[in-house]
Structure 1
Amino acid sequence: MSSFNNFQNMLDQQVGSLPKRSWPAPDNPKKQQRPIPASSLRVQGAAWATAGGGMAATLNGAYRIFRNFRGFKYI
């Protein structure tokens, strides 16, 4: 008997065997693709710009930190 089966048996004894669940069947299997309205893009543009600015600032800070590490010599 493999160690996985031993572990599985131990779990079954402690937890008990759980019922198997299946995913519910989708109500509408073929969703229609709707275009994204332009108004939502205008609203989300400020959030994307802010996130991009924050990412650029973070990467710039990491670049400067690692560039300063080059000045250290081995002790």
Structure 2
Amino acid sequence: MATVNRIKLFVGNLPWTVGHKELRGYFKEFGRINSATVIFDRKTGLSKGYGFVQFNNLTALQKIEAQQKHLLEGSYINIQKA
């Protein structure tokens, strides 16, 4: 049975207009996504400005790292391994 290398990324500085769908839409160009989640405040329902994206392969991570800046809905987002 093949082992799966799951790559989980922290994505910060998200605009408040970005939800799960928009986050997934941006990162799908880099590879197949397992999950894309924006973290929301439970009381207000507003985005906390960060989220997580998970991929199954290293190729997606390499493509993301090769692109120096990532612009999503007018804001440069920060991406780090989680």
> If the length of structure 2 is used for normalisation, what is the TM-score?
0.18
Higher relative contact order (CA 8 A, sep 6+): 2
Larger radius of gyration: 1
**If each structure's helix is expressed as a fraction of its own residues, which one has the higher value?**
1
